[in-house]
């Protein structure tokens, strides 16, 4: 099927009109999700000191055992190494700030340009370094040397924040392997021949599957058909004008037979 692991989200929205065009301005409100089954939380530890990386990994796994949380830990020796990865795969980042290359604060700023959902927790030698944490909406910071009980208290806050965030995930089985993609990041889905192309701002994902199959799966998560070859994310729709739909800054074809159903889907979306 090429897709699995979808979780539910709700958004609130306002709309307005201008001439014969319909534009939408949206206010996203974080919604708490009721999880029916345990979900593995993906945690990344980014620290240039191997000893600290190992210590934090042990603390995280201990916390998971004590609190019945399923936690998967990935270790990175630099922020530059992390930034080469698909950031949306992770739920929580634990950053050292003072590191060679890109420091933790600059890396967090870079990540926030495209991802407002991921939870960030800083670990640092000097409290002054963490003062600017508000710029990147960091949940907290921990001073080194790190003791377990101080860590557990602040990590608990980070875990709770991550659970409250709107981390809808699709695990896409593409022609290049499996990728975890945040639903909010998907702009639209396009069908070309026997393939579906999932378009995000950063990457395209090619899947061998039918549009009907994925339309049925995605419809209740605020995706709507606007054309026989296109399925759009209603959260990212900014307007409709004659024969096109504006998705972020992109113009997507609008089929005449799909316009009414698209507007009906959007109205239902507004009332979620």
Do 52 and 151 share a domain, yes or no? yes
The total domain count for the chain is 2
Of 134, 152, 151, the closest CA to residue 142 belongs to: 151
Looking at 110, 144, 164, which one is the last position of a domain?
164
Structural domain of 246:
168-270
pTM above 0.85, yes or no: no
Q: Is residue 223 part of a domain?
A: yes
Report the distance separating Cα 232 and Cα 226, nearest Å.
7
| CATH code for the domain of 252 | 2.40.50.1020
Angle at 108 between CA 103 and CA 109, to 5 degrees: 100
DSSP 136-161: GT--EEEESSPPHHHHHHHHHHHHHH
* First-residue to last-residue Cα distance in the chain: 27
Alpha helices in the chain (DSSP H): 50-67, 79-83, 104-112, 148-164, 211-218, 259-270
Instruction: Show pLDDT as tens, one digit a residue, over the chain (272 residues).
Output: 444 332 322 333 344 433 334 444 333 222 222 333 356 889 999 999 999 999 999 999 999 999 999 999 999 999 999 999 878 778 899 999 999 999 999 999 999 887 777 899 999 988 777 777 888 989 999 999 999 999 999 999 999 888 876 456 778 889 888 887 878 789 999 999 889 999 998 899 999 998 988 998 788 678 999 999 999 998 888 888 889 999 988 999 999 999 999 988 888 776 65
Of 227, 261, 264, 228, the closest CA to residue 247 belongs to: 227
Q: Is residue 124 part of a domain?
A: yes
Q: Is residue 36 part of a domain?
A: no
Q: Is residue 26 part of a domain?
A: no
User: Number of H helices and number of E strands within the chain?
Assistant: 6, 18
| CATH code for the domain of 70 | 3.40.50.2300
């Amino acid at each position: 099927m090429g897709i699995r692991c979808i979780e539910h989200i709700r958004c609130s929205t306002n709309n307005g009109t201008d001439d014969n065009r319909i534009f939408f301005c949206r206010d996203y409100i974080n919604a708490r999700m009721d999880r029916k089954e345990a979900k593995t939380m993906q945690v990344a530890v980014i620290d240039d000191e191997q000893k600290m990386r190992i210590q934090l990994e042990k603390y995280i796994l201990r916390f998971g055992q004590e609190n019945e949380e399923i936690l998967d830990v990935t270790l990175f020796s630099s922020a530059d190494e992390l930034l080469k990865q698909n950031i949306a795969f992770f739920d929580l980042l634990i950053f050292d700030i003072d590191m060679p290359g890109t420091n933790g604060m600059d890396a967090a700023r870079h990540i926030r340009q495209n991802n407002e959902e991921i939870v960030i927790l800083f670990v640092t030698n000097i409290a002054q370094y963490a003062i600017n944490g508000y710029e990147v909406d960091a949940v907290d910071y921990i001073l080194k040397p790190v003791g377990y009980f101080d860590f557990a208290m602040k990590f608990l806050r980070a875990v709770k924040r991550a659970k409250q965030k709107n981390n809808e995930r699709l695990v896409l089985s593409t022609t290049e392997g499996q990728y975890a993609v945040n639903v909010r990041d998907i702009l639209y889905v396009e069908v070309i021949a026997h393939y579906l192309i999932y378009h995000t701002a950063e990457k395209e994902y090619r899947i061998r599957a039918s549009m009907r199959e994925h339309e049925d799966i995605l419809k209740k998560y605020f995706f709507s058909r606007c054309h026989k070859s296109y399925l759009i994310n209603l959260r990212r729709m900014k307007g409709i004008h004659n024969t096109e739909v504006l998705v972020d800054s992109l113009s997507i074809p609008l089929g005449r037979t799909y316009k009414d159903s698209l507007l009906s889907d959007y109205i239902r979306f507004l009332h979620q």
